[in-house]
């Protein structure tokens, strides 16, 4: 029997190692590194101002971040103390980021998160209350973006990927506002890596491709690493042609750099690629090249990985002697650096090899060691989960307290400013102008109150229209169920009711909010269209597509698209002879979200004519409500929101389908200012 080892336990570790290496890039504090540490220390003795000293101390701490975390911590704390003493909030914020970097490297994630939250608060305060400083607003915004990105790293290390993505998207938005392309590419890369860990490969490819495009544009040396990560995703998807193409391109780019660490990892990935195709000679050649580079770099983590992979290769060839030799070497190296994930994989493989040699005593012994390593990893993961829960609780409480404190400070400042203005007016203008001021103030309050009431009325009208949609939608679906039961019998009706219950659950869940993400709207439409396919015996096919310009946190009001899809089915496709098709697409055009619904039915003009001749014709309540919702959206957001409906006409001016295009303002789930 051919033996196929389970290499999956090893690959995630390698990928996470790459991710950790790349994620640290986002912590860059923006210092140019042309200065050496001796030069900076010399400059520390000659500069006269404390602000300049803080800047130099932060630069030294930043340079030490990869080679000596203790030195980073030492110089960053000196910078923080001096900045605190002199009220240099910007220097203090940069020092907090450097201290957080040192704590990440030391795996002290709780303290790192405190440091980054403090930096975030300092940068936010500088933006809200600008001080007399040479630092520009863009530098402060970039610093705030780095704080969010650094928090994202901590959450990533704690496997809290939801929080990590939220912080990365906030950092990305700020970098895009300041046009910081290098930082944008790094955040794209980090988001892509998280999606890769979550096995959302299409999203991972999207963001890694965006990162690679920017890296290529700027000539960054990290471009081949990103290209290699894209290749590993294609390899995982079994798209071997694309995977090898990206690996080879990455190889040609690595030849132009001194990044031997990245090159070694690429050789290892190519070894895995050729091993999976049973091209063992090529695989062994690449493994040996990787081994040489890892040995030169004294990278025992990579060495252990390659030794394991070579052992796996010989095991697949049933050369048990060499398989045992290399796997034992991998275990020895992994134990030397306490690399538990590799220990676990190597122990399991040794147990399998001894079992094949019928040495059951050693097989059992190594299997026990494998179980012990697995339990240790599980215990660490459980500890991480507990720590993550504690961190979330602690910082939610801290953020709430900070918010209350900020509101109090702002209230005090507002009152102080108002008192000062009133005092000045009383002193200069006198009693007569005071009466005029009271009159003007009263009028302004009345105008503000009137505008507030108008806005509230508009919002309540919008909510009322939204609430009307829910019973109308349920009524139509219940009508569909009744018709389906009559036409298709009990078994089919039960299947239909099961899908209907899922659709109702989604509808009730999404209709609670004023905005839902586009991917959730697509899920609801998908479920509804599948129901109608069942109802009408697969009379039509459908397709839903999204443009790459659609971002993950873009949103739209719930139950806005469904009435147009329903009309396309009932009044376009059902009356048509033969089968039909509906196509729904989401795109971004001219700074608007554009949703298009097309069908190849009888056309709207012919449908209207049929309804006029029908004794059962009724006015479309759903479309009227939807058009009213669009008008309210346009009034509330001060942005265009409308719908256009037209027929496709053939050479004889006969309709052969309908196109509905809905134009909406771009909104986001994270945007709390606009609610429809």
CA distance 244 to 251: 10
pLDDT higher at 221 or 238: 238
Query: What are the tens digits of pLDDT across the range 623-634?
Result: 777 778 788 778
| Stretch among 28-32, 215-219, 389-393, 492-496 having the lowest mean pLDDT | 28-32
Q: Is the pLDDT of residue 20 over 50?
A: no
| Mean pLDDT, residues 484-506 | 71
Query: What are the tens digits of pLDDT across the range 128-162?
Result: 876 656 778 888 899 999 999 999 988 887 778 88
Contact 593, 556 (CB under 8 A): yes
CA distance 172 to 335: 39
Q: How confident is the model at residue 614 (pLDDT cuts 50, 70, 90)?
A: low
Contact 54, 69 (CB under 8 A): no
What percentage of the chain carries pLDDT values higher than 90?
Answer: 37
| Mean pLDDT, residues 419-431 | 75
| Mean pLDDT, residues 402-427 | 71
Q: Is the pLDDT of residue 661 over 50?
A: yes
The reply to whether CATH 1.20.1740.10 applies to domain 279-375 is no
Q: Is the pLDDT of residue 622 over 50?
A: yes
Dihedral, 329, 332, 335, 339 alpha carbons, nearest 10:
-10
Q: How confident is the model at residue 544 (pLDDT cuts 50, 70, 90)?
A: very high
The CATH superfamily label for domain 17-179 reads: Tetratricopeptide repeat domain (1.25.40.10)
pLDDT of residue 19: 39
pLDDT of residue 286: 95
- Partner residues linked to 387 by β-bridges: none
Q: Is the pLDDT of residue 579 over 70?
A: yes
pLDDT higher at 481 or 572: 572
| Stretch among 16-20, 98-102, 639-643 having the lowest mean pLDDT | 16-20
Cα separation of the two ends of the chain: 63
Q: Is the pLDDT of residue 202 over 50?
A: yes
CA distance 27 to 153: 9
- Burial letters 319-344, b for 16+ CB under 10 A, else e: ebeebbbbbbbbbebbbeeebbbbbb
Q: How confident is the model at residue 541 (pLDDT cuts 50, 70, 90)?
A: very high
Query: What are the tens digits of pLDDT across the range 164-198?
Result: 999 999 999 999 999 999 999 999 999 999 998 88
Number of Cβ atoms within 10 Å of the Cβ of 396: 10
Q: How confident is the model at residue 381 (pLDDT cuts 50, 70, 90)?
A: low
Q: Is the pLDDT of residue 519 over 60?
A: yes
pLDDT of residue 359: 93
pLDDT of residue 559: 78
The domain ranges of the chain are 17-179, 279-375, 453-668
Q: Is the pLDDT of residue 462 over 80?
A: no
pLDDT of residue 30: 45
Contact 306, 294 (CB under 8 A): yes
pLDDT higher at 475 or 373: 373
**CA nearest to 522, candidates 463, 627, 595:** 595
| Stretch among 114-123, 202-211, 252-261 having the lowest mean pLDDT | 252-261
Q: Is the pLDDT of residue 370 over 50?
A: yes
Long-range contact pairs involving 215-220 (C-beta distance under 8 Å, separation at least 24):
215/185, 217/181, 218/181, 218/182, 218/185, 220/182, 220/185
pLDDT of residue 533: 87
| Mean pLDDT, residues 419-432 | 76
Contact 582, 546 (CB under 8 A): no
| Stretch among 66-70, 159-163, 335-339, 563-567 having the lowest mean pLDDT | 66-70
pLDDT of residue 388: 54
* Domain 453-668 top-level CATH class: alpha beta
pLDDT of residue 457: 52
Long-range contact pairs involving 650-656 (C-beta distance under 8 Å, separation at least 24):
655/602, 655/603, 655/604, 655/605, 655/606, 656/600, 656/603
Contact 581, 543 (CB under 8 A): yes
Q: Is the pLDDT of residue 299 over 90?
A: no
pLDDT of residue 399: 58
Q: Do domains 17-179 and 453-668 have the same CATH topology?
A: no
Sort 486 into a burial class: Cβ within 10 Å, 0-12 / 13-18 / 19+.
exposed
Question: CB under 8 Å to 640, separation ≥6 — which residues?
Answer: 592, 634, 663, 665
pLDDT higher at 637 or 541: 541
Contact 170, 148 (CB under 8 A): yes
| Mean pLDDT, residues 338-364 | 92
| Mean pLDDT, residues 645-661 | 89
CA distance 277 to 446: 77
Q: How confident is the model at residue 422 (pLDDT cuts 50, 70, 90)?
A: confident
pLDDT of residue 606: 84
Q: What DSSP character marks residue 573?
A: I
Query: What are the tens digits of pLDDT across the range 269-291?
Result: 999 999 999 999 999 999 999 99
| Mean pLDDT, residues 324-336 | 93
Q: How confident is the model at residue 512 (pLDDT cuts 50, 70, 90)?
A: low
pLDDT of residue 631: 81
| Mean pLDDT, residues 73-78 | 91
Token pair 């990533």 is at which residue?
Answer: 156
CA distance 290 to 264: 4
Can you spell out the DSSP letters for 39-105? HHHHHHHH--SHHHHHHHHHHHHHHTTTT-HHHHHHHHHHHHHHHHHHT-HHHHHHHHHHHHHHHHH
| Mean pLDDT, residues 3-28 | 38
Averaged pLDDT score across all residues of the chain: 81
pLDDT of residue 594: 95
Q: How confident is the model at residue 427 (pLDDT cuts 50, 70, 90)?
A: confident
Token pair 């750099």 is at which residue?
Answer: 257
| Mean pLDDT, residues 212-233 | 91
């Amino acid at each position: 029997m051919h033996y196929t080892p389970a290499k999956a336990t090893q690959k995630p570790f390698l990928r996470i190692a790459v991710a950790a290496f790349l994620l640290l890039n986002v912590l860059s504090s923006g210092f140019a590194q042309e200065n050496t540490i001796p030069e900076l220390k010399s400059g520390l003795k000659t500069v006269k101002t404390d602000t300049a000293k803080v800047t130099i101390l932060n630069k030294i701490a930043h340079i030490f971040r990869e080679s000596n975390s203790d030195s980073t911590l030492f110089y960053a704390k000196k910078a923080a103390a001096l900045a605190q003493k002199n009220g240099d909030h910007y220097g203090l914020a940069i020092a907090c980021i450097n201290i957080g970097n040192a704590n990440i490297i030391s795996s002290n994630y709780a303290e790192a998160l405190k440091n980054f939250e403090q930096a975030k608060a300092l940068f936010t305060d500088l933006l809200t209350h600008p001080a007399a400083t040479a630092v520009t607003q863009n530098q402060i915004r970039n610093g705030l973006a780095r704080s969010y990105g650094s928090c994202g790293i901590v959450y990533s290390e704690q496997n809290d990927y939801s929080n990590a993505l939220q912080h990365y998207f906030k950092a990305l938005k700020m970098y895009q506002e300041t046009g910081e392309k290098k930082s944008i590419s790094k955040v794209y890369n980090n988001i892509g890596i998280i999606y890769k860990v979550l096995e959302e490969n299409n999203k991972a490819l999207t963001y890694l491709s965006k990162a690679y495009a920017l890296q290529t544009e700027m000539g960054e040396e990290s471009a081949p690493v990103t290209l290699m990560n894209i290749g590993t995703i294609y390899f995982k998807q079994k798209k071997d042609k694309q995977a090898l193409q990206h690996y080879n391109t990455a190889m040609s780019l690595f030849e132009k750099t001194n990044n031997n660490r990245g090159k070694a990892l690429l050789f290892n990935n190519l070894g895995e690629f050729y091993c999976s195709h049973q091209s063992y000679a090529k695989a062994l050649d690449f493994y040996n090249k990787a081994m040489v580079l890892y040995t030169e770099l004294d990278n025992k983590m990579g060495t252990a990985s390659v030794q394991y992979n070579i052992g796996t290769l010989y095991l697949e060839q049933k050369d048990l002697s060499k398989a045992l030799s290399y796997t034992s070497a991998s275990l020895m190296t992994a134990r030397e650096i306490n690399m538990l994930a590799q220990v676990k994989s190597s122990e399991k493989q040794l147990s399998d090899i001894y079992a094949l040699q019928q040495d059951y005593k050693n097989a059992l012994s190594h299997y026990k060691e494998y179980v012990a390593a697995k339990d240790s990893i599980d215990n660490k993961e459980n500890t991480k989960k507990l720590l993550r829960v504690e961190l979330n609780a602690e910082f939610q409480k801290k953020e709430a307290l900070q918010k209350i404190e900020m509101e109090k400070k702002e209230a005090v400042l507002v009152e102080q400013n108002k008192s000062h203005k009133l005092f000045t007016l009383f002193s200069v203008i006198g009693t007569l102008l005071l009466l005029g001021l009271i009159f003007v103030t009263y009028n302004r309050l009345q105008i503000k109150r009137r505008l507030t009431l108008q806005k509230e009325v508009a919002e309540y009208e919008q909510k009322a229209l939204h609430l009307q949609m829910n019973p109308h939608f349920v009524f139509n679906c219940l009508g569909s169920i009744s018709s389906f039961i009559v036409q298709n019998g009990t078994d089919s009706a039960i299947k239909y009711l099961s899908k209907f219950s899922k659709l109702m659950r989604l509808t009730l869940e999404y209709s609670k909010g004023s905005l839902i993400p586009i991917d959730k709207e697509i899920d609801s439409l998908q479920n509804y269209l599948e129901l109608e396919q069942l109802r009408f015996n697969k009379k039509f096919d459908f397709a839903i597509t999204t443009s790459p310009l659609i971002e993950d946190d873009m949103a739209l009001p719930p139950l806005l698209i469904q009435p147009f899809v329903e009309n396309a089915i009932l009044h376009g496709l059902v009356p048509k002879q033969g089968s039909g098709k509906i196509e729904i697409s989401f795109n971004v055009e001219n700074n608007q979200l554009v949703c298009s619904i097309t069908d190849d039915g009888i056309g709207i003009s012919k449908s209207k004519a049929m309804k006029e001749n029908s004794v059962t014709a009724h006015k479309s309540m759903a479309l009227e409500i939807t058009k009213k919702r669009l008008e309210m959206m346009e009034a509330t957001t001060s942005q265009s929101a409308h719908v256009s409906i037209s027929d496709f006409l053939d050479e004889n001016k006969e309709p052969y389908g309908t196109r509905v295009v809905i134009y909406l303002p771009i909104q986001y789930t994270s945007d709390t200012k606009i609610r429809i």
